[in-house]
């Protein structure tokens, strides 16, 4: 197994620890772990492309690891009363649709990699969640604007956009045989 795939697995292993920290109100420790896990996403993609280590495992598991990390944070933050549940429903609906589309494609022997808008969506989600976990630090020193929540709105908009784009680009998968 190559280093990029090992980083993806590490990200998945960190998720339960992150959840335990967050649900016990260790926001800053949870934020640090979330940042580390998020950075493994950028690093594994970089290493895979740079060293030509792109594998079907990585194409499937890397986006899944991202979804598990982000979904865990979103659900915990709803439970803690930090974010609105409807935003999580929109995000999860897109993820279920895209995952379902990928499953249908995989059944036809087609592996669909994450697109650019999906990567932007994931980055916005991770950045917004980081600032929410950090309780708006360092912006809280200068303003009462909830920067993490503003970025989360942008992430929800990009989530819808990337989901629609994904469906349009891959509509041939839905064609009856």
Q: What is the CATH number of the domain that holds 160?
A: 1.20.120.1760
Q: How far is CA 93 from each of CA 87, 97, 159, 167, rounded to the nearest angstrom?
A: 10, 6, 10, 13
End-to-end, the C-alpha distance of the chain in Å comes to 36
The percentage of residues in the chain with a pLDDT greater than 90, rounded to a whole number, is: 58
Range of the domain at 54: 3-174
Summarize pLDDT for 77-129 with one digit per residue, the tens.
Answer: 999 999 999 999 999 999 999 888 888 888 888 877 778 998 899 889 999 99
pTM for the whole thing?
A: 0.86
DSSP 140-169: GGT----HHHHHHHHHHHHHHHHHHHHHHH
Q: Say how many domains are in the chain.
A: 1
Most confident range, picked from 42-46, 106-110, 135-139, 159-163: 159-163
Structure tokens at 89: 């429903």
Q: What is the mean pLDDT of residues 13-36?
A: 97
Look at residue 17 in the predicted model and tell me its pLDDT: 98
């Amino acid at each position: 197994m190559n280093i990029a795939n090992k980083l993806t697995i590490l990200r998945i292993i960190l998720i339960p620890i992150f959840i335990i920290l967050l649900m016990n109100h260790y926001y800053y420790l949870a934020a640090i772990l979330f940042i580390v896990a998020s950075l493994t996403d950028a690093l594994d993609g970089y290493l895979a492309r740079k060293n030509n280590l792109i594998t079907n495992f990585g194409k499937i598991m890397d986006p899944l690891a991202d979804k598990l990390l982000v979904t865990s944070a979103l659900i915990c933050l709803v439970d803690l009363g930090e974010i609105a549940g409807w935003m999580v429903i929109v995000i999860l609906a897109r993820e279920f649709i895209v995952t379902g589309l990928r499953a249908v494609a995989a059944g036809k022997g087609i592996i669909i990699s994450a697109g650019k808008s999906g990567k932007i969506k994931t980055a916005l989600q991770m950045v917004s969640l980081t600032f929410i976990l950090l309780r708006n630090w360092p912006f809280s020193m200068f303003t009462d604007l909830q920067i993490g929540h503003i970025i989360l709105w942008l992430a929800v908009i990009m989530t819808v956009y990337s989901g629609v784009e994904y469906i349009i680009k891959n509509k041939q998968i839905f064609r009856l045989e």
